Structure 1
Amino acid sequence: ICMINEIAKEYIALIPNLFGSFKELNKGAVHLSHMQNHVIEYIFMQQRPLNLKEISAGLGIAKQQLTNIISDLETGGYLNKVPDTKDKRAVLISLTPAGKEIEEKKWAELYQKLSMNVTKLSEEEQRDLSFALHKVNVLLRKMEE
């Protein structure tokens, strides 16, 4: 139980550190609303067209709320909607070249900022961070199995 408490304490401490770091790296990278950015990012990460139900489930957002966001992103030229050949009632939503470009640019800027931050660490600290992040990712995935 003592080890579980220690793990819980460190995990909870990691969350604001990680989100704070990510928020700082991501600052000014996207000129969309928070929710619009989430939708584009989710579709980008899935690397395939998705229907509204998949996006809704993946982001934990009600389909009714998503409809306006998707519509605004389509109007803005970031998303395409095409009929789903497998389900005639559904449409598949994918990124346009402009939608892909905004995400690729954002991630390139984030990588550049992160790289600058990492250079503040010694070579040994960089190796420690790399190992620690790898290990955390491996163990978190294992816990989800």
Structure 2
Amino acid sequence: MAPQSRQDLDPSDLATVLGEFTRRSIRLPATEKHSFTTLSVLHTLAHRGPMRLTALKVTEQITQPAITQLISRLERDGLVERRPDLEDRRAVLVQVTPAGAQIVQTRQRDRVRQFSQLAEALTPEERHAIGAALPALARMAALMDVER
């Protein structure tokens, strides 16, 4: 569905287009084959730094048992490691390992390559429109991270 061109932002059109774009971009072929949840956790840790399991549970929107099981598996695979929280010795932080960070970097390179190919099929005006929208989309993404 292509929304009509207009000056005002229609939140319904935005949700529809971004939802469809997200669903399709998640499914782009990748060198690294991992579940969406695994990739999301690795990406979160690579970009936000070490986190407690309780914080990861919130960002990833999964249950405590599910995040505990996932982190245990990722730890076994050498993609994350647990270490003591120096601010609270009772707590544990999870951090991405170099192997886990490499998966995130490889996925990013794959996407850049694929988006470059897709962008070649667009008109110059379409590429310009997307480029012009990126700062506003980045700001919206940052606003999503603000704790409410």
Please indicate the TM-score interval, normalised by the length of the shorter structure.
0.7 to 0.9
| Matched residue, 1:10 | 13
Once the two structures are TM-superposed, the CA of residue 62 in structure 1 deviates from its matched residue by 1.9
| Matched residue, 1:30 | 32
Once the two structures are TM-superposed, the CA of residue 64 in structure 1 deviates from its matched residue by 1.8
Query: Which consecutive unaligned segments of at least 5 residues does structure 2 have?
Result: 1-8
Mapped partners of 1:144, 1:77: distance in 2: 28
Once the two structures are TM-superposed, the CA of residue 22 in structure 1 deviates from its matched residue by 1.3
| Matched residue, 1:75 | 76
| Matched residue, 2:110 | 109
Once the two structures are TM-superposed, the CA of residue 144 in structure 1 deviates from its matched residue by 8.6
Once the two structures are TM-superposed, the CA of residue 30 in structure 1 deviates from its matched residue by 3.0
Residues 111, 142 of structure 1: CA spacing in aligned structure 2 closer, same or farther, 3 A cutoff?
same
Asked if 1 retains the 8 angstrom alpha-carbon contact of 2:85 and 2:91, the reply is yes
Query: Which consecutive unaligned segments of at least 5 residues does structure 1 have?
Result: 1-5
Look up the SS of the partner of 1:115 in the other structure: helix
Task: Decide which moves more: 130-139 or 34-43.
Answer: 130-139
Task: Decide which moves more: 13-22 or 69-78.
Answer: 13-22
Once the two structures are TM-superposed, the CA of residue 103 in structure 1 deviates from its matched residue by 0.5
| Matched residue, 2:47 | 45
Mapped partners of 1:142, 1:52: distance in 2: 23
Asked if 1 retains the 8 angstrom alpha-carbon contact of 2:30 and 2:107, the reply is no
Q: Given the two structures, how large is their TM-score scaled by the length of structure 1?
A: 0.81
Asked if 2 retains the 8 angstrom alpha-carbon contact of 1:40 and 1:95, the reply is yes
| Matched residue, 2:127 | 126
Task: Decide which moves more: 130-139 or 63-72.
Answer: 130-139
Asked if 2 retains the 8 angstrom alpha-carbon contact of 1:83 and 1:92, the reply is yes
Identity %: 22
Look up the SS of the partner of 2:95 in the other structure: strand
Mapped partners of 1:83, 1:143: distance in 2: 29
